[in-house]
Amino acid sequence: MTVAASSRQGAIRDPALFPIADRVAAGERLSTSDAVTLFRSPDILGVGTLADAVNCAKHGDVVTFAANQHINPTNVCILRKTCVFCGYARLPKEEGAAESGSPLFSSGLAGGGTGIDWLLISPAIA
């Protein structure tokens, strides 16, 4: 099914996206104005339909994902008492507090067989 056909069949519900669907179907490059329209559209499924159409036209029925893991060199965080983002942070000198030089921090990486190809350690705000 083409993008233009899917817009007529209801996959795209925001009428502001119809002209963009026509340009996508024609293989035309979108303008800055088109980008703003896509960003402001409440029709997230319609925007996704357009994105999928462009991806399929360029790459076939293939989608890839990048899996990242962010590792901080410490679990010490001064926001421990007020932030509920993580359950592992520790205050300075609290039991279990670890920094990059401590055996507690490095033991998780030293076990081998982790499948880690490369490692980037970024500084934490503490």
List the chain domain ranges.
3-59, 66-111+119-126
Residues of the chain with pLDDT under 70: 1-9, 67-72, 99-126
Looking at residue 115, its pLDDT comes to: 57
Model-level pTM?
0.50
| CA geometry: angle 24, 29, 33, nearest 5 deg | 95
Task: State the chain's mean pLDDT as an integer.
Answer: 77
pLDDT reported for residue 26: 93
Give the pLDDT confidence score for residue 87 in this predicted structure: 73
69-90 tens-digit pLDDT: 666 677 788 787 887 777 778 8
Under 8 Å between Cβ of 3 and 24: yes
DSSP state of 83: -
CA dist 36 and 6 (Å) reads: 22
- What pLDDT is attached to residue 27? 92
Rounded to whole angstroms, how far apart are CA atoms 17 and 40?
Answer: 10
Indicate the SS3 state at residue 70: coil
* Per-residue pLDDT, 110: 47
> What is the Cα–Cα distance from 37 to 46, expressed in whole angstroms?
12
